[in-house]
Chain A
């Protein structure tokens, strides 16, 4: 058993892991240890289970088979598998985006009265961007926006997504169009890069990667690119924009982050997962007098709703709800013995959680028809009865307060302050209405560039160590850091989202932060909100009449876990941003595919992947990329 300090960089986590180890509670790190050493074929991407002539494996080193039963080579196997990872990741983000799009339509038609349009200004801005008249009745405009979004999910023509056409910067759009034409002219074969419809690109991949279909690694990867773009500039973007319309565009606000946000004297409800649709309602009803009164009658001071993971990020940004932690905190928060309920929607919810909850009084409540858990209490969420469902959940939690066992309560009183909520709109406001001050700061060399850090925790990497250390290394090098997801929570917990943290940064970032009154690490939202970074990149590129691939920017997912991260990484690369990954994705079994991803994609799309295990080395490589681009732009 490893020492808690080796498992997490976060002192609250170390405290809680020690407690779990002492009391014999099984955590994710124990399960990883039981799985080790992990399969070499899987690590390299050299196994295939797509048909039952298999399962097949390819021997990377010795005299074993070099082809699957069907004849597929290592290159095909690896490319097919990567392609399916992208499809799964894009499907997750986009299916998330579908829900608010349908909800917006229902609200516009008056079919759902549980929700309203909170941000009319954003609605009209999105409409204008889509070429819809922003004037007139709110419900009319909302209906038109919702219909464009829903049509992007399911349309059958081959034109690019309307959201992508409306949001991607001009030069990038032209680049993709020209790339399709160039590939056709050069090869005589059709290669698609521009997504036609969100659902179709996922279906295309499932079709293309089934037995006896596409075996050309480059063709497979380009379809992966197309599907990833349907996520970044499609499903995820739709999720962000419509959630802003329904729940409000985030603006800077102070919040607290880490396990210390739990309150011993209150009913604690942890909301975990990815969507804001239910959690927004839980936050709202938890303030209702009747429920608060009920909590007081139970002997509690009140009801304390806290977030976890990206559901946490959604309500953190919009409602200022404190966040208990990122992905690897999801078990730790249960081990505090303070949670009356953990309410989950979709994605990144470990199936281990309900069993761990049973070691305590905690009610583990699943709510989505798409994510059910043996051992959970299931309270089905219906959007049209959102408030009733939320009340039932909160009531269950309040009634459970009496079952809390004080003997089992053990938690760290650790939480950091953070200034969060930097939507593109909020950033523009801080910049005085235009990206020009940011562009000037980069052009004059006040800061070298901007880096985006995203994505998960992974128990294979010491929790938050890479996320936080990479951020610090970049800031020292005068590179401003923006990001989302589990990185954002890690940075908040580490205190990097306090404006004072600028003192840790290089002189340029420090100066910029002090001028604008912003922290050096900017929280842009949940993982679907990576689309905010795309929109910001697009705004800067259009401002300079250049392409994203000209800008001094780089990205990283240094503790990534999920297929969603593969999709995110791919749409950034496909949009012209070099992306660092750690751990290495399961592609190294094919040197040809590895070369495609790390070198050849650069000439096609102006972005590429690279793998680096050390935060300082990763930061150096990202700085090199940024400096090379500055040089190309003629900046010192």
Chain B
């Protein structure tokens, strides 16, 4: 299962991910149609202007998700395809327990229901719209291997050898 990875060094703080996220959750309307219709659509990830780097906060889709454990009506479910923790709106009673349980602050309320990242069904809009590649959608295992290879390269370079 892939996860969102954020590279603070690459983030320009342009908020494109936020707008793309909101636009990806417009029930089929285009961004332009939604704006003209005066529709409200909050983003499900947030760029915080930390210094010197911006920080993106969003759901980690934790493997042992406190929000799911806290959700009495079991409105929070795991999507078997993507591994995303998603809200089944019809079951959500607006108790806000999930908001309190989330250690990252990644769940917000909108019109009485919990709203959170759903990984866009496996092709996150925020990643597609990130102009610098600060947001990536990666498998943690592959990411680990990539870093191992990078580490080996660094060691070899220090030893004056070609990798």
* Chain A residues engaging chain B, CB cutoff 8 angstroms: 37, 39-41, 43-44, 57, 59-64, 584, 588-589, 591, 594
Contact = CB atoms under 8 A, between A and B. Distances in A.
Contact of B31 (A43, A62, A63, A591): A43
Contact of A39 (B14, B39, B40): B14
Contacts, number: 61
Contacts of B22: 61-62
Contacts of A594: 36
A59 B40 CA distance: 10
Nearest to B19: A40
Which of B32, B42, B131 is packed against the most chain A CB atoms within 10 Å?
B32
Interface residues of B, number: 23
B52 interface: no
B15 A57 contact: yes
Contact of A62 (B36, B40, B128, B129): B40
Contact of B41 (A43, A44, A62, A589): A62
B16 A588 contact: no
Contact of B18 (A37, A59, A584, A588): A59
Interface string B8-27: 00000011101110110010
A617 to B, nearest CB: 16
User: What DSSP secondary structure best describes chain B's contact surface?
Assistant: helix
Nearest to A36: B128
Given A39-B16, A41-B15, A594-B36, A61 B42 contact: yes
Contacts of A59: 15, 18-19
B32 A588 contact: yes
Nearest to B41: A61
Nearest to A57: B15
A40 B16 contact: yes
A194 B18 CA distance: 43
A40 B129 contact: yes
B43 interface: yes
Given A37-B128, A61-B40, A62-B42, A44 B32 contact: yes
B144 interface: no
Given A37-B128, A39-B14, A39-B131, A61 B35 contact: yes
A352 B41 CA distance: 39
B19 A41 contact: yes
A594 B41 CA distance: 20
B15 A589 contact: no
A62 B18 contact: yes
Contacts of B35: 44, 60-61, 588-589, 591
Contact of A64 (B15, B16, B36): B15
A41 B42 contact: no
A32 to B, nearest CB: 14
Contacts of B16: 39-41
B38 interface: yes
A101 to B, nearest CB: 41
15 contacts: A39-B14, A40-B19, A43-B31, A61-B23, A61-B35, A61-B39, A61-B42, A62-B18, A62-B22, A62-B40, A62-B43, A63-B42, A64-B15, A588-B35, A591-B35
